[in-house]
Amino acid sequence: MLRFQVLGRLSVTNDLGECTPTAPMVRRVLGQLLLCTNSIVTLDAIIDELWGDKPPKSAVPTAQTYIYQLRRQFEPWVPADMVEQTLATCGTGYILRVNPDQLDLTAFLQLARQGRTALAAGDPAAAARLLRQALDLWSGSALADVTAGPAIEAHVVHLQEQRAHTLELRIQADAMLGRHRELVGELKAMLLTNPLNEWYHAQLIKALASIGRRYESLLAYQDLRKTLSTELGLEPSEALKELHQEVLAGRSRWSDRPAPGFGG
């Protein structure tokens, strides 16, 4: 059975090992089809992804050749009578039919959805486990080694947002479980690459205060205030100012309810 990975480097494996296409343009077509699995991708959309608004005169037969090459790549690992159905021609487009257990993206979306449902139902332990499993499927930026045209780039941006939201929910679930000490180091590391993310700052301030490190919590707020002022000429949001006042007043736990405007 073929298995596909897009949450990181593009990878196609079978029961014997790696069988990922090496030709760059074929990889782009495969990436586009995998991001739209079980949905029709028109030939025009493939051409636009590959060449934008300046397609060569040979764009149609060249794109069709890439589809042919993908089918040939799949042939040893798909029953002979199923190759044309696995990568099927549908009118003026193509559809790559993939079962849920064949694609890491499908697994990620399913686990993330289950995690959100568990969190909404008041089960942070199940939510943290499911959301962590979803995030563990990622090994880097989606299709990190595939040159992105407009369609792939749009999908990748959307997926990165979904990944970021899933991470926020996992942090929220861990905070509700009282895992503040574990979160401190993780949040500090995340802020090194996301210094203007107020949500991460809010979680760090809460985590530090929750484990009795109120002085460091207040310093974290001042560091954010200085960064926002220096980089953007802005003050922290009202929600963060309110959180700052709560720390000053000695509040030390937020696992029972979200901080204003920031989630748990």
Mean pLDDT value across the chain:
92
Higher pLDDT pick, 7 / 261? 7
Q: How far is it, in rounded angstroms, from Cα 194 to Cα 214?
A: 22
Nearest 10 degrees: CA dihedral of 85, 86, 87, 90?
A: 40
Residue 81 has what pLDDT? 67
For the segment 104-137, what is each residue's pLDDT rounded down to a tens digit? Answer: 999 999 999 999 999 999 999 999 999 999 999 9
For the segment 218-233, what is each residue's pLDDT rounded down to a tens digit? Answer: 999 999 999 999 999 9
Residue 152 has what pLDDT? 96
Assess whether pLDDT exceeds 70 at residue 255.
no
Residue 256 has what pLDDT? 41
Query: 252 falls in which pLDDT band (50, 70, 90)?
Result: low
Assess whether pLDDT exceeds 90 at residue 217.
yes
Task: Answer yes or no: are the C-beta atoms of 119 and 165 closer than 8 Å.
Answer: no
Query: 250 falls in which pLDDT band (50, 70, 90)?
Result: confident
Least confident of 4-18, 71-85, 140-154, 202-216: 71-85
Higher pLDDT pick, 117 / 258? 117
Assess whether pLDDT exceeds 90 at residue 236.
yes
Assess whether pLDDT exceeds 50 at residue 260.
no
Residue 79 has what pLDDT? 73
List of domains in the chain: 3-99 (1.10.10.10), 180-264 (1.25.40.10)
Stated length of the chain: 264
Task: Answer yes or no: are the C-beta atoms of 130 and 114 closer than 8 Å.
Answer: yes
For the segment 166-197, what is each residue's pLDDT rounded down to a tens digit? Answer: 999 999 999 999 999 999 999 999 999 999 99
Name the DSSP letter for residue 98: -
Assess whether pLDDT exceeds 80 at residue 264.
no
Mean pLDDT on 83-109 = 92
Tokens of residue 229, six digits? 């002022």
Amino acid at 147: T
Assess whether pLDDT exceeds 80 at residue 55.
yes
Residue 253 has what pLDDT? 62
